[in-house]
Structure 1
Amino acid sequence: MKNYLFFYPCLLLGAAGCNLPAKSPAAATAKDSASKGTYAYDVDFLKKHTTKVIELTSEDSSAKVLLSADYQGRVMTSTALGDTGISFGWLNYALIAAPEKKKQFNPVGGEERFWMGPEGGQYSLYFKGGDSFNIAHWQVPSFIDTEMYDVTQASKSMAVFSKKAIIKNYSGTSFDIAIERTVSLLSKDQLAKKLKVSIPADIDFVGFETSNKVTNTGSTNWTKDNGLLSIWLLGMFTPSLETTVIIPFHPIANARSFITDNYFGDIPKERLHVTDSVLYFTCDGKLRSKIGLSPLIAKPIAASFDFKNNVLTVIIPQVNKEAAYVNSKWEMQAQPYKGDVINSYNDGPLADGTQMGPFYEVESSSPALELKTGATGEYKQTTCHFQGSYITLQQLAKQLLGVDLNTIKK
């Protein structure tokens, strides 16, 4: 594959003023010898093995976000400390470098990818009508797996991707869709406003927001009777042996019944602790397990803390407890619109000992998109990472999540 790095502001605005200084031999050597696990390593790797890479960068070059048009406008990774900082997104290096794509699904990684639901059920987008709901018949649609997206706009702080597709669900309903995905790097003030907190001066951070729009470009309205779609955002992150996902929820009566924890069998008690208002889920990449929260209890926030690297990750989805959410369980469903809004997945070995990761995921979904012809549905999410003093991060976690990190430590 011939490899390029596309600098889109030059393409959009013309060549004037876009002559970049040649990289010195010393700089080239430093770049080529970047340590695995750093942002610079991942930038260099993706430049070598993909064709369209876009980098969003803060004014001081500390906060950076790496995007790929090859992988559907995906946020591949980010950093809060420039090129030498930790690369927060998990990447499947072997698969990205492989000469051929996989048939069913290409889990290349990335800390936010655009998918669509539902995954299972009579309105599934991942199974053909009449097929049984098992892994042998599961197929990720190519427009969210292998197809490249167009870049319609780009700058130092924002990029816009687009794609048109036609997809048929398990029941035979066909959907003509147009996708527009915008990824924006957030300034300190913008991020603080979204989180409704002040970001301490001794904290390094990176934050980005995605706006994901889906338009019904077909000639028929989308109705519940024929099946609806949802926007599904999934983030894959690198775990440590000391990573815990933290998800606050509303302490309503019988709240535990609105948490699903048996997607891949029962989760051992030492790995999932649920209080009356917070869920703690061990995400170390050692046991395949998944949890989900109903919109009836979910708050618009989920997080994780990596005690080994002192990193607080926060995801801000949109939650509407009055809305219908598609059900992705692999079965013919009695309630196809009683799905989760927030999920978390911990990777682990399969029965044969092989493993995709290790990685862990935090996911969120939009409400079911009941769109008339020509109408557009939009779903936004913010992802951010904080590094710095443990005491300061402890205070920030208390403000945002209402939890004491010391309690999790114990």
Structure 2
Amino acid sequence: MKQIKTLIWLLSLLSIVACDEQPGEGTFGYDIHFLKAHKKTVLLKENDGQSQIAIVPDYQGRVMTSTAQGEKGKSYGWINHKLIASGAIQPKINAVGGEDRFWLGPEGGQYSVFFSPGASFDFANWETPKVIDTEPFDISSVSADRAVFEKRFQLRNYQGFVFDLKVEREVSIFGKKEIEQNLGITLKDDCAYVGYQSQNKVTNQNVEDWSRDKGLLSIWILGMFAPSEETVILLPYKDSLQLNSAYFGSIDDSRLQADSGVVYFRGDGKYRSKIGLPPANATGRLGSYDPINQVLTIVKHSFDGDSLYVNSLWEHHEYPYRGDVVNAYNDGPLEDGSQLGPFFELESSSSAKALQPGEAMTHIHATFHFEGKQEAIYRIAQEALGIDLSKIPY
């Protein structure tokens, strides 16, 4: 009997220790254990496993989250644990989260792919196409540092034109040298890092051209991130500023300011608002800084100087191809007090291409996180974004 009691005690102790070793909420380990319990999850690793990203094929090959310090490190992406755990399918959008998700634009206007032909541009008629919301992408290949996905589908726009298209999406994680070369920086031992990109290719499979009068598409990549009370979104810009802040109403200067080539926009997840920059202002880079956790996020996207970008505002457009290259969104309570997040978003779009049958367009969206001492974070922000973080006005 004494031996049995001793065995039970040892098993209980081992159980307690095992529980203690489980990564806590907010860590990468917590999130990948959660994701694996509900969906097939692909992990890509670099830097001896310190740099990792988690991808879910069922969510269109979406990068759900990443870390710079292994399983015990912070989980940088925002994940909607409640919705995923419920298994429910929402009628308009299934906002499961994720740092890099594949979408297509335009969202609003007379060439929209989110509104049915003839519908009024209001929330009652808005719906995310299932092929970029609930339908999985097929896995083409997976290796240690990359995963490739594809999907063939049709998509009807507001004019009734049916796009027949093929999407090929390759997600790859970077090593240290690739990060340094991508951003033109030098990494030292005073910060942790992770970097990856998605290369997204759309091919016209129609037997006819895609034309401006029927409507064009753009590749739209959106990243949802966990905010803090003091997170600030950073949008470097060139030339005379033409900031678009008309998406969800007015934004006062306690949340939005611009000075010396930088737009500062609060990303605290407490006030629903969105901004965008047109091609004339785009630099190919944007980011965010969380001074509480000393995390710098940088997004670098392909931008070839083209001026043709779809307009996604929910209205009929006089100029449907004068849209934004980059957008930033801050989540917040809706009119009824409910809230999806909190999170904030960093977004980039490709230009709109009038593709002939068999022609393709490609958009690259790369995400980098740096976490460490303030001196290191400030140095990287200056080198990669040309921004002095000590001058943030908030």
The structure 2 residue matched to 1:259, chosen from 230, 233, 243, is 243
Deviations 1:42-70 (A, max 9, x none): 000001111x2100011411000000001
Paired position in structure 2 for 1:236: 224
The structure 1 residue matched to 2:372, chosen from 388, 393, 397, is 388
**Counterparts of 1:266 and 1:67, CA distance in 2:** 36
Conserved 8 A contact 1:186-1:208: yes
**Counterparts of 1:132 and 1:171, CA distance in 2:** 13
Count of residue pairs the alignment pairs up: 381
1:170–1:349: structure 2 CA closer, same or farther, 3 Å change rule? same
Paired position in structure 2 for 1:325: 309
The structure 1 residue matched to 2:202, chosen from 214, 232, 244, is 214
Paired position in structure 2 for 1:311: 295
1:275 aligns with 2:259: yes
1:148–1:44: structure 2 CA closer, same or farther, 3 Å change rule? same
In the TM superposition, what are the counterparts of 1:342-361 in structure 2 within 5 Å?
A: 342-361=326-345
SS at match of 2:180: helix
SS at match of 1:385: strand
Deviations 1:130-188 (A, max 9, x none): 10000000010001000011111001100001111100100011100111100000011
Q: Shift of residue 409 of structure 1?
A: 6.5
1:189 aligns with 2:177: yes
Paired position in structure 1 for 2:6: none
In the TM superposition, what are the counterparts of 1:4-403 in structure 2 within 5 Å?
A: 29=18, 33-50=22-39, 52-250=40-238, 252=239, 255-256=240-241, 258-403=242-387
Conserved 8 A contact 2:307-2:322: no
Instruction: Look up the equivalent residue of 1:400 and give its one-letter code.
Output: A
**Counterparts of 1:263 and 1:54, CA distance in 2:** 35
Question: Which structure has the greater CA radius of gyration?
Answer: 2
**Counterparts of 2:309 and 2:41, CA distance in 1:** 33
**Counterparts of 1:26 and 1:291, CA distance in 2:** 49
Q: Gaps spanning 5+ residues in structure 2: where? A: 1-13
Deviations 1:346-398 (A, max 9, x none): 00000100000000000000000211101111111110000111111111111
**Counterparts of 2:18 and 2:122, CA distance in 1:** 48
Question: What is the TM-score when the length of structure 1 is the normalising length?
Answer: 0.90
Q: Shift of residue 400 of structure 1?
A: 1.7
Q: Shift of residue 206 of structure 1?
A: 0.2
Q: Gaps spanning 5+ residues in structure 1: where? A: 1-24
Percent of residue pairs bearing the same amino acid type: 44
**Counterparts of 1:266 and 1:105, CA distance in 2:** 25
Instruction: Look up the equivalent residue of 1:281 and give its one-letter code.
Output: F
Moved more, 323-332 or 341-350: 323-332
Paired position in structure 1 for 2:10: none
1:368–1:236: structure 2 CA closer, same or farther, 3 Å change rule? same
**Counterparts of 2:276 and 2:230, CA distance in 1:** 21
SS at match of 1:48: helix
Q: Shift of residue 191 of structure 1?
A: 1.1
Conserved 8 A contact 1:295-1:320: no
Q: Give the alignment's Cα RMSD to 1 decimal.
A: 1.5
**Counterparts of 1:40 and 1:115, CA distance in 2:** 27
**Counterparts of 1:209 and 1:30, CA distance in 2:** 34
SS at match of 2:48: coil
Instruction: Look up the equivalent residue of 2:28 and give its one-letter code.
Output: Y
**Counterparts of 1:296 and 1:96, CA distance in 2:** 39
Deviations 1:245-300 (A, max 9, x none): 011110x2xx23x2101211110111101114110001100100000000111101
Conserved 8 A contact 1:106-1:145: yes
Question: What is the TM-score when the length of structure 2 is the normalising length?
Answer: 0.94
Q: Shift of residue 27 of structure 1?
A: 12
Q: Shift of residue 320 of structure 1?
A: 3.1
Conserved 8 A contact 1:224-1:370: yes
**Counterparts of 2:248 and 2:142, CA distance in 1:** 40
Paired position in structure 2 for 1:17: none
SS at match of 1:143: helix
